[in-house]
Structure 1
């Protein structure tokens, strides 16, 4: 399974309705079954450079990218996301590099 970290910034629309962010997060889960991508965690960070952080897991990076594009299409957020590696996966990356 692929792991990804998404750094979320609310759009103007998302900021204007920030009080609904918890409900929007629950609604965002509706794409999980269709794309086999799950939220491992959602962490709000409104006093930092990003408003929310998603930790996602999916079958591959393509599914995660599709999931994030659908999330952004709703108009409440902009995001950057990147692959993440657990210790055993990073050890494999290091072995390949040696």
Structure 2
């Protein structure tokens, strides 16, 4: 599994119906689970982003499809970053010679 960090912001539509947000989160968790992935952690945040999720997924295509499907709902916009664990980071740096 690959880890991804998702930066999430509510759209105008999403914040208008913010009380339904926990139900939408549950639906997103199920959707990603059905795609073979999972949420590792989820945070409501203050500052530039409204929420941050750390998720695992089988590959980039799954996460791309997941993010697009979330966007289709019109409640959130996402920015997704692929995350390399410390061991991979060390290996990448060491491979530079």
Q: Do the two structures share a fold, i.e. TM-score over 0.5?
A: yes
Structure 1 unaligned residues grouped into runs of 5+: none
Is 1:4 aligned to 2:27, yes or no?
no
> When the two structures are aligned, how many residues end up with a matched partner?
97
1:21 counterpart residue number: 21
Tell me what 1:65 maps to: 64
The answer to whether the 8 A contact 1:10-1:78 is kept is yes
- Structure 2 length normalisation: TM-score? 0.90
Structure 2: gaps (5+ residues): none
| TM-score relative to the length of structure 1 | 0.89
| C-alpha displacement of 1:39 | 0.8
In the TM superposition, what whole-angstrom CA distance separates every residue of 1:2-29 from its partner, at most 9, and x where no partner exists? 1110101100111101122112111112
- 1:67 and 1:60 mapped to 2: Cα distance? 11
Query: What CA distance in whole angstroms lies between the structure 2 residues aligned with 1:26 and 1:61?
Result: 22
Q: Give 2:42's aligned residue.
A: 42
Structure 1 residue runs of 4 or more that deviate by more than 2 Å after TM superposition: 95-98
Instruction: Give the whole-Å Cα distance in 2 for the aligned partners of 1:19 and 1:91.
Output: 43
Q: CA deviation at 1:76?
A: 0.5
